[in-house]
């Protein structure tokens, strides 16, 4: 049977009904606490937590986002808009797509550990993201109870403190550095990121003993951690501030903003760049390059300079 066509008057009446339903919907603003399975957990301005659907084609919503929630007369909730973001932590996935991990953050805590051994290239990738987004960055070396004798394992203090980065050594097991870690998070919106097995969930559990946070042992086969955090989650800390715990990663390929030089993500290289002969110097093989000269004399740490060149080459290929 052919479908019956609606008259113009009938179409007008249906549109008026739809408009009335929209007008009757209550709009509120809330912050995304977590996003999983196509649904959001949103904390409204009133402090109430609700589950919400997502309007189609709204885009990627992440922890830290502020969204407009539509609540219908049937008490159904739906996110219909995302407020402008102040900052983003982004990465590029294996398919070349840009993925946003968290938004509106003021501090990135890069979590390393004595075991598994830190990957300083991965650390520099995180720091690049923070510098490009003007996000304050802190380096946390966890599980220092496993390395009692060496006060600066892996030379992290030597390399990064003189660049202005805070480096905190912590141990959940013996409490070392935990008070300093808590103070660091106060009055900030922080995201803690790092590879699986460095102890992010243990650190979060220490800060929030009332929360049920899964913790996995390190895999003895390859000394890599098992993923215990499946999706990002925002927590309000008792001492003030918010903490976004992100899933562990095997690697982190940062989104690189081509509107600014890659050297902007390396503090010491960016500082020397103004002394180069060419204003658009890439500090790779150009003559009269202040960065190359500093690397040759040891003024720039060799690993940092090599990591810069590696990212420059990867970005060129991409």
- Look at residue 276 and tell me whether its pLDDT is greater than 90: yes
Number of domains in the chain: 3
Give 19 or 129, the one with higher predicted confidence: 129
Among 101, 51, 104, residue whose Cα is nearest residue 77: 51
The confidence score (pLDDT) of residue 12 equals: 55
Q: What is the pLDDT of residue 63?
A: 96
Mean pLDDT of 183-210: 92
**8-state DSSP, 195:** B
Same domain, 297 and 215: no
Residue with the larger pLDDT of the pair 36 and 215:
36
Q: How much is the pLDDT for 47?
A: 93
Tell me whether residue 3 is in a domain. Answer: no
Same domain, 125 and 220: yes
- Per-residue pLDDT band at 7 (split at 50, 70, 90): low
Do residues 101 and 184 both lie within one domain? yes
| Domain CATH code at residue 210 | 3.40.50.300
Please determine, for residue 16, whether its predicted confidence score (pLDDT) is greater than 90. Answer: no
| 95 and 75 within one domain | no
Q: For the ranges 1-5, 114-118, 175-179, 186-190, which has the lowest average pLDDT?
A: 1-5
CB 116 within 8 A of CB 218: yes
| Co-location of 190 and 303 in the same domain | no
Task: Pick the more confident residue, 144 or 26.
Answer: 144
Task: Indicate if 154 and 96 belong to the same structural domain.
Answer: yes
Burial 33-66 (b: 16+ CB within 10 A, else e): bbbeeeebbbebeeeeebebebbeeeeebbbbbb
Instruction: Report yes or no on 254 lying in a domain.
Output: no
Residue 3 has pLDDT above 90, yes or no: no
Instruction: From 188, 184, 175, 191, select the one nearest 229 (Cα to Cα).
Output: 191
Is the Cα dihedral 43, 67, 99, 244 positive or negative? negative
Same domain, 182 and 208: yes
Considering 217, 245, 273, which residue would you say is the last residue of a domain? Answer: 245
CATH number of residue 271's parent domain: 1.10.40.50
Looking up residue 45, the CATH number of its domain turns out to be 2.40.50.140
Categorise residue 250: left if φ over 0, alpha if ψ from -120 to 50, beta otherwise: alpha
**Domain closes at, from 212, 245, 278:** 245
Q: Which pLDDT tens digit goes with each residue over 286-308?
A: 999 999 999 999 999 999 999 99
Percent of the chain with pLDDT over 90: 69
Least reliable range by pLDDT among 104-108, 230-234, 282-286: 230-234
277, 223: one domain: no
| Predicted pLDDT of residue 9 | 61
Report yes or no on 17 lying in a domain.
no
The reply to whether 160 falls in a domain is yes
The percentage of residues in the chain with a pLDDT greater than 70, rounded to a whole number, is 86
Claim to verify: residue 127 and residue 216 sit in the same structural domain = yes
Task: Please tell me whether residues 100 and 223 are part of one structural domain.
Answer: yes
What pLDDT digit, counting tens, does each position of 220-263 carry? 444 444 444 457 899 999 989 999 998 877 778 999 988 999 99
Stretch 137-146: mean pLDDT, rounded? 96
Query: Domain for residue 8, yes or no?
Result: no
Residue 115's domain comprises: 88-245
Partners of 190 in beta bridges: 107, 243
What Rg, from alpha-carbon coordinates, does the chain have? 24
Residue 239 included in any domain: yes
122 plus 141 within the same structural domain: yes
**Domain match, 64 and 156 both:** no
């Amino acid at each position: 049977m052919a479908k019956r066509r609606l008259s113009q008057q009938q179409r007008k009446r249906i549109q008026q009904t739809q408009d009335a339903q929209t007008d009757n919907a209550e709009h509120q603003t809330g912050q995304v606490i977590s996003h999983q399975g196509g649904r959001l957990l949103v904390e409204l301005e009133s402090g109430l937590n609700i589950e919400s659907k997502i309007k189609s084609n709204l885009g990627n919503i992440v922890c830290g986002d502020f969204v407009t929630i539509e609540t219908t007369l049937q008490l159904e909730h739906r996110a219909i808009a995302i407020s402008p973001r102040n900052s983003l932590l982004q990465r590029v996935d294996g398919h070349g797509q840009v993925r946003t991990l968290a938004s509106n953050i003021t501090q990135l805590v890069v979590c390393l550990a004595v075991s598994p051994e830190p990957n300083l290239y991965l650390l520099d990738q995180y720091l690049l993201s923070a510098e490009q987004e003007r996000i304050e960055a802190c380096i946390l070396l966890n599980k220092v109870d496993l390395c009692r004798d060496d006060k600066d394992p892996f030379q992290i203090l030597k390399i990064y403190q003189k660049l202005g980065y805070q480096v905190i050594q912590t141990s959940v097991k013996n409490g070392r550095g935990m008070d300093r870690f808590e103070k660091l998070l106060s009055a900030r919106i922080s995201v803690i990121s790092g590879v699986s097995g460095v102890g992010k969930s243990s650190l979060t559990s220490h800060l929030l003993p009332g929360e049920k946070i899964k913790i996995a042992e390190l895999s003895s086969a390859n000394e890599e951690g098992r993923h215990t955090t499946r999706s990002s989650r925002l927590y309000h800390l008792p001492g003030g501030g918010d903490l976004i715990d992100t899933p562990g990663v095997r690697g982190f390929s940062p989104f690189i903003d081509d509107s600014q030089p890659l050297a902007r993500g390396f503090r010491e290289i960016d500082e020397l760049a103004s002394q180069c002969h060419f204003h658009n110097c890439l500090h790779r093989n150009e003559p009269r390059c202040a960065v190359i000269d500093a690397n040759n004399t040891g003024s720039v740490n060799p690993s940092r300079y090599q990591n810069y060149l590696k990212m420059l080459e990867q970005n060129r290929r991409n």
